[in-house]
Structure 1
Amino acid sequence: MTVTRVRREATGGEGEARRAGRAGWVAAAVWAAGIAAAFAVGWQLRRAGLATEDALPPLHARLRGHPLTWPVLPAVAVAAALVAALPALAARLPWRVLLLAAWASCAAWTVALAAADGPAALARPLDAPTEYPAGLAQVRPDPLDWIATFTDRLGGYTTHVRGHPPLPTLALWALERAGLGGTAWAAALIVAAGTSAVAAIAVTVRCVAGEAAARSAVPFLALAPLAVWVATAMDAFFLAVAAWGTALLAMSVRSARPVIAAAAGGLLLGCVPYLSYGLLPLFAVPAAVVLLRRPPVRALVAAAVGSAVVPAAFTALGFWWPDGVRATLDTYLVSRGSAQRSYAYFAFGNLAVLGLLTGPAVAHALPRTAAALWRAARSRTALPGACALAGAALLGVLVLDASGVTKGEVERIWVPFAAWLLVAAPPGHRRRGWLAAQAATALTVQALVLSPW
């Protein structure tokens, strides 16, 4: 009887694995078809004169006149090396060394992709008159007055300054005050911080799902298609702040000093709404960490106190966050920019862009992830940690998409969300094949598309 039961369970497990594999391939096919459809519909809308804000909807970019060939070869070489080496490194390196190796690998991949457009490509996006550095001249005379009058004078700021709370601009002002002025240093900060999120997310996965799951996720985190937009969009900096805040919160459970780790995590998470108004749904990820890890009460209190520091400071200095939201919405509605984009088209097109950010490996893994979450919910058992993190990030994206707050330009806006979806990428014997597919996605985008970021 026992032998029969074991055989039945083994057969059932094999059948379930086959069904999951078939569902994964169907999801990968839907991924490819959805992206192709989004670009085809966007092209038709452009022809009809109904989509004039973007040259290549759903991306805020344009198609290159001539695809990159030789300039992209260094990135191809980096990708080939990482596809070959990362799975073995993830399995064998000591944990702390692996985190450094993952950070270095992601930085090399990101820089190699950006450098295909020339040595100055990393800093060039930040030289645009619409970017944050162009708004620093208004901060320099009196930063405190600039904060206090930020909402009142919003209409006179550059596009990205008026579209966000004051903290991103103040971060670049502080970098300049430290003697590291100029867009080259700003680009270095963005790339270094954004790529460090690989380590932060791996640490979080290890805390909530175990070291095996974290090691399995590291290659996909380091060699992600979203690296195309990490250099150099300020949203990569936002990703790092949120990811390290979440990691510190997760670490507070097993830390020797849980109050300090939780307070530091709360401090970083308290910065998140003051970096971008659209990042509120990202709090689903640290909320999932709290549900999964159940930190001690004193750690939760410390995190709450830490998270109140930045809001209290900005409020005391004269910036009231709800007023900033309202003023930004007003400038958004009267502009000729993204407010004029079609809600119906971008509700669909934005998800296609999310597919480009995360790649076919995540699409293949989504049915398995959804099934794991459904089984846990139905049986009222513990949620699988990595799946829960990916599900929380996806929930945040869907909320933003349905709200219409993000219509277009999500290739940068959704970077802080998309990075967490990568932890759902498929493990197993086909890992190098899926890694190669991830790299090919990024290389194809870099070779064909010219993005302002």
Structure 2
Amino acid sequence: MTLTDAGGHAAATRRRAWPGWVAVAVWAAGIAAAFATGWYLRRAGLATEDRLPPLHAQARERPLTWELLPAAVLAAVAVAALPTLAARLPWRTLPLLTWAGAAAWTVALAVSDGPDAAAAPLNAPTEYPAGLARLRPDPLAWLRTFTERLGGYPTHVRGHPPLPMLVLWALDKAGLGGTGWAAALVIAAGTSAAAAITVTVRCLAGERAARAAVPFLVLAPLAVWVATAMDAFFLAVSAWGTALLALAARRAGAGALAPAAAGGLLLGCLPYLSYGLLPLFAVPLAVLLLTRPRARMLAAVAAGLAVVPAALTLLGFWWPDGVRATLDTYLVSRGSAQRSYAYFLFANVAVLGLLTGPAVAHALPTTLGALRGAARARAVSPPAAVAALAAAALVGVLVLDASGVTRGEVERIWVPFAAWPLAAASLHRTAPRAWMAAQAVTALAVQALVLSPW
């Protein structure tokens, strides 16, 4: 290569890179603007529900320093080793490595607040475990009267359908009662979603794309909230349901029916875990559109989807009544319904940026380019398949955001959505370790500066 050729190549590389840097600048400016506007609104007495809007949190009186040393060391080791391990390990071990890495990162961040930090938020009187005493004597009667007695339940129980409480009751019935076991379930399930997304990406975009996504799925900024919010469990249910659909689409004949039905069964749980998860169906829908499965696989998915709604309906919970009752309690409360729609319309998106990190922002132009290329070519390339998963999750976020129901507290609500765009961070081929480090620094900075109730 001549000097002229080398100079031309460098200039072309810079031209391709600048949209990503512009996206990172917009990402940073948007987050700064959301916090600055929230500070102004609070100072003016117009935003009093949150101490640190747009987060439902407060600034730490003393930022964490040495407490974060184990997490910082883990991040440094992951940045150095994960790209090589993800590229070279046998595939059968990679999902387990992804799960273990995500769990280690999540726990390392959580324990910076103390060894009991992961379970502590679940001890709050507003959380799900506080409502277990009402459920234990007669779960069937509790379910039948759930809508009628909704106003007397803790905040998080009032804001959700009954399935999260039934899951905790089953855990308690199995002899694993207490918030420690509940926290263990949330962490184990929530971090396993990284493995599920890896499997989904491999099915749709190939093994190379899945391997490239692993480091970003492990060192995710959203790990700050995975250890402390039940929404991480919702993420796991949706991610594994989607992964099973993707696995079924790769199989031929009767071998596809069992994973298709199991995927449908998990996805059928989503509306009964949280009313806000309906827009998340955009992700499994994207999987079906990309794979175009046969009619009998779709029938197996539909059969699985019907199981949980049918069972809970027969047992006495009518989902539309639950939606109406929850909306009524939402409107009469002094909580998020009183918050500014206009402010949180853009601030919620800024919070999503905190969960996904600068690497996803940098990859956003490449993601959009992959989608445009697929539309022009009428063929789905591996980058376009990854981009489609990310875009589907982002569409779900925008729909939910525009609805006005999610006014604040979205650092936990976005968790099931925000995990999918992380895979798109693998689409930029340059300096993966630098972008991994940027992701880790984002998570460490949030954990150091922000004290969250979950």
Output the CA distance in 2 between the equivalents of 1:445 and 1:32.
14
Say which of 169, 191, 201 aligns to 2:187: 191
| Separation in 1, partners of 2:148, 2:406 | 24
Correspondent of 1:160 among 156, 160, 178: 156
1:17 Cα deviation from its structure 2 partner: 5.1
Q: Does 1:263 align with 2:264?
A: no
Deviations 1:58-108 (Å, cap 9, x if unpaired)?
000000001001111111111111111110111001112111111101000
Query: How far 1:18 moved relative to its partner?
Result: 3.9
Q: Which sits farther off after the overlay, 246-255 or 355-364?
A: 246-255
Distance in structure 2 (CA, Å) of the matches to 1:291 and 1:19: 33
Aligned to 2:448: 447
Which residue number in structure 2 is paired with residue 181 of structure 1? 177
* TM-score, normalised relative to structure 1: 0.96
Would the aligned equivalents of 1:20 and 1:368 in 2 still touch at CA under 8 Å?
no
2:265 is paired with a residue whose SS is: helix
Equivalences for 1:295-374 in 2 at 5 Å? 295-374=293-372
How far the C-alpha of 1:297 sits from its partner, in A, is: 1.5
Q: 5 Å matches for 1:26-175? A: 26-175=22-171
Query: Match for residue 374 of structure 2?
Result: 376
> Partner amino acid for 1:261?
P
The answer as to 2:279 corresponding to 1:281 is yes
- Residue 270 of structure 1 and its aligned partner are, at CA, apart by 0.2
Confirm or deny: 8 A CA contact 1:131 1:159 kept in the other structure: yes
Are the structure 2 counterparts of residues 67 and 296 from structure 1 closer, same or farther at C-alpha, using a change threshold of 3 Å?
same
SS at match of 1:253: helix
1:4 counterpart residue number: none
What amino acid maps onto 1:447 in structure 2? A
Give 1:405 deviation, angstroms.
1.4
Ranges in structure 2 where 5+ consecutive residues have no aligned partner: none
Partner of 2:216: 220
Q: How far did 1:429 drift?
A: 3.5
Post-superposition Cα deviations, 1:363-403, rounded to whole Å, max 9, x if no partner, equal 00001101111222234333611000000000000111111
Provide the C-alpha distance between the structure 1 equivalents of 2:389 and 2:12, rounded to a whole number of angstroms: 23
Q: Distance in 2 between matches of 1:370 and 1:14?
A: 23
Letter of the 2:448 partner, please give it. Answer: A
Listed as ranges, the gaps of 5+ residues in structure 1 are 1-7
2:206 aligned with 1:205: no
Which amino acid is 2:201 matched to?
V
Describe the shift of the 1:20–1:406 C-alpha distance in structure 2 as closer, same or farther (beyond 3 A): farther
Counterpart contact for 1:358–1:419, Cα < 8 Å = yes
CA RMSD, Structure 1 to Structure 2 (Å): 1.6
Q: 1:242 touches 1:272 (CA, 8 Å); kept in 2?
A: yes
- TM-score, normalised via structure 2 length: 0.96
Alpha carbons 2:337, 2:405 under 8 Å: kept = no
Aligned pairs for 1:6-25 within 5 A:
18-25=14-21
Distance 2:127 2:51 in 1: 19
CA contact (8 A) 1:20 1:367 kept: no
Partner in structure 2 of residue 290 of structure 1: 288
1:163 to 1:412, Cα distance in 2 relative to 1, 3 A: same
CA distance in 2, matches of 1:334, 1:301: 42
Letter of the 2:353 partner, please give it. Answer: G
Kept in 2, the 8 Å contact 1:372–1:387? The answer is yes
2:76 and 2:186 map into 1 onto residues whose CA distance is 25
